[in-house]
Amino acid sequence: MNVYKCRAECELDVQEVSKFLNSKCPEGWFNVLVEKTTLDVDGQLIPIPDVDWTFQSSLSHEELTNLLLTAPPNDWHVLIESLKPVDQYDGERDNKYS
């Protein structure tokens, strides 16, 4: 299994993508961890809606990206653009999918 990490604008995006992946390849992936994101403002950690999502999939990065791009209209661009193998994850977006 491949391990991936990505950023999402909110936890609802993760739930929607999870539902979509489950409908397309129920045996090919599973959720590992959703981490809430915080912003340091003058030493205070302020929660923001963004989340980091780590999950495993039998699909390659290309297969997974192509599958997500076939989804019905959605607002998953941040998730798709930041999706990387966990050891390459940097939180940055690749705008080639915009």
- What CATH number should be reported for the domain holding residue 38? 3.30.70
pLDDT tens sequence across 43-65:
998 888 889 999 999 899 999 99
**CA of 68: how far to CAs of 41, 43, 45, 47, 64, in Å?**
34, 37, 32, 27, 6
Whether the per-residue pLDDT at 86 is higher than 90: the answer is yes
Place of tokens 């981490």: 35
Question: 63 is in which domain, residue-wise?
Answer: 2-89
- Residue 84 has φ and ψ, to the nearest 5°, of -150, 160
Inter-residue contact 75 to 13 (CB < 8 Å) = yes
- The total domain count for the chain is 1
Residue percentage of the chain with pLDDT more than 70: 95
Residue 9 lies in a domain: yes
Give pTM, 2 decimals. 0.84
Burial of 1-26, coded b for 16+ CB within 10 Å and e otherwise, reads eeebbbbbbeeebbebbbebbeeeee
Residue 98 lies in a domain: no
